[in-house]
Structure 1
């Protein structure tokens, strides 16, 4: 049985690096790592190979905000002659990680998905978008029309979603971080409709101790942040759904990441009905 090849954006550090290690260690996958910085990416790959000598790990330079960079990376994957089992849109910025939050977290995954989709297994392939519990924290405080738009039942157009993101950007808390991730989760629902042969999901990894969250009180390790990622990559999940950090289906308007102050879990009937 051939190895599953998975491309993980932003995999030189944090949750992306932890996921890469889990994939090569526990699932025997070939991982194509991407990093905006070739230097940091090369160091991460060297460290993984030192820890797992038999790991099959490739590295591509990729800036999810630059169309030319994404297209070039997709071209290199095509030249490798591999079919991707999954694309993990993990690269993101916010909190301590500087950068354009909306461009990176909202537009970046769309650009990557559209550039790599033809290289993903048309029958068994998956796209996994790393969202955040901050998406729920932002959306739960919006009006009913905004909640309906971002929950997208029925599915709305990307243009309508984009217009709402632009409209809310100036007043959004956390520099627009929660808004950007809510937009990504809503876009995932659109992906599920646009790519019916693929399984497209979004998730919260939880409040994980990384460079991005340093100083904000996060206590979970990056590897603990891969629980829902692994589930969405390999388990029986439903395309278009958003999953909490424990791998349970989660409504976008109810924050339910265990271990966080805003957690509303199985005791909350509005959250519990989704966890089946």
Structure 2
């Protein structure tokens, strides 16, 4: 098992990618960018590498329980758990989307509530005691 690790779900673009970028600059440990789509996740990690930042990539589709359990098992095996978990993955329909409201509501709840619950159910037991608030993980 190796050192400290930070994991950010849904981080191949937007706020999640910005969080990974900041962690790469400040966190003293390995930083993992996760995405459901392998190609987009790897492209995001390569984009950070072109900025001189090192982010590792691990596939994680929060709507797929097998993907969640595989990712949790990976971090438990490689790091003995997780020091920082930032659950950023989620969805939002655009205002102009014509998908019926009932479908939007169902899909939104499935991802933003039930899938989030599944991620936390499998990852919270892996959070290492102490975490970032009590140990010097961040660069000064």
Q: Distance in 2 between matches of 1:76 and 1:42?
A: 17
Is the 1:87–1:113 Cα contact (8 Å) retained in structure 2?
no
Q: How far off its partner does 1:20 sit? A: 0.3
Change (3 A) 1:29 1:52: farther
State the 1:30 CA deviation.
2.0
State the Cα deviation string for residues 39-91 of structure 1 (Å, max 9, x = none): 000000111112125x2x22111111111110011111122134311211100
Query: Could you report, residue by residue, the CA deviation over 1:152-188 in whole angstroms, capped at 9, with x for unpaired residues?
Result: xxxxxxxxxxxxxxxxxxxxxxxxxxxxxxxxxxxxx
Which of 85, 88, 91 aligns to 1:87? It is 85
1:102 to 109, 112, 119: 109
Structure having greater relative contact order (Cα 8 Å, sep ≥ 6):
2
Mark the runs of 5 or more structure 2 residues left unpaired by the alignment.
none
CA distance in 1, matches of 2:23, 2:79: 20
CA-CA distance at 1:23 after TM superposition: 0.7
- Helix, strand or coil at the partner of 1:63: coil
C-alpha deviation, 1:95, in angstroms: 2.6
Structure 1, unpaired ranges of 5+: 127-233, 235-276
Corresponding residue for residue 123 of structure 1: 130
- CA RMSD in angstroms comes to 2.5
Which residue is 1:5 aligned to?
A: 5
Question: 4+ residue runs of structure 1 moved beyond 6 angstroms?
Answer: none
Select the structure that is richer in helix: 2
Q: Which has the larger radius of gyration?
A: 1
Kindly tell me: are residues 3 and 49 of structure 1, through their superposed partners in 2, closer, same or farther at Cα, counting changes over 3 Å? farther
Q: Which whole-Å CA distance do the structure 2 matches of 1:3 and 1:50 have between them?
A: 24
